[in-house]
Amino acid sequence: MSSPRCPSCERPVKLPPENKTFPFCSERCRTIDLGRWLGEEFRVPTRQVEEDEDGQGLPPGAGSTPQDA
Ligand SMILES: [Zn+2]
């Protein structure tokens, strides 16, 4: 009952040396888990970019009022 499971897809995995991608079940799951870690690291500094998108307003002179001609 103590069979290891893949951290990515949580399926039962085989032990090394038969499984070269241990503790993952396959090369794909190892890549997915690695990408997940990198994604979380890159996600932190992107908060400032999201706040910058909020500074959009009407361009100056859009509603020009006709003055005394
Ligand atoms: Zn897997």
CA of residue 37 to ligand 1 center, whole Å: 15
Specify the pTM: 0.53
CA of residue 23 to ligand 1 center, whole Å: 9
What pLDDT score was predicted for residue 32?
93
Query: 1-46 has which CATH code?
Result: 3.30.50.10
Listed by start position, the domains of the chain span 1-46
Over residues 8-15, the mean pLDDT reads 95
With a cut of 70, say whether residue 53 has pLDDT above it. Answer: no
What does the angle CA 21 – CA 25 – CA 30 come to, to the nearest 5 degrees?
A: 55
With a cut of 90, say whether residue 31 has pLDDT above it. Answer: yes
Calculate what percentage of the chain has a pLDDT beyond 70: 70
With a cut of 60, say whether residue 48 has pLDDT above it. Answer: no
What pLDDT score was predicted for residue 61?
72
What residues does the ion ligand 1 have nearby, CB within 5 Å?
6, 8-9, 25, 29
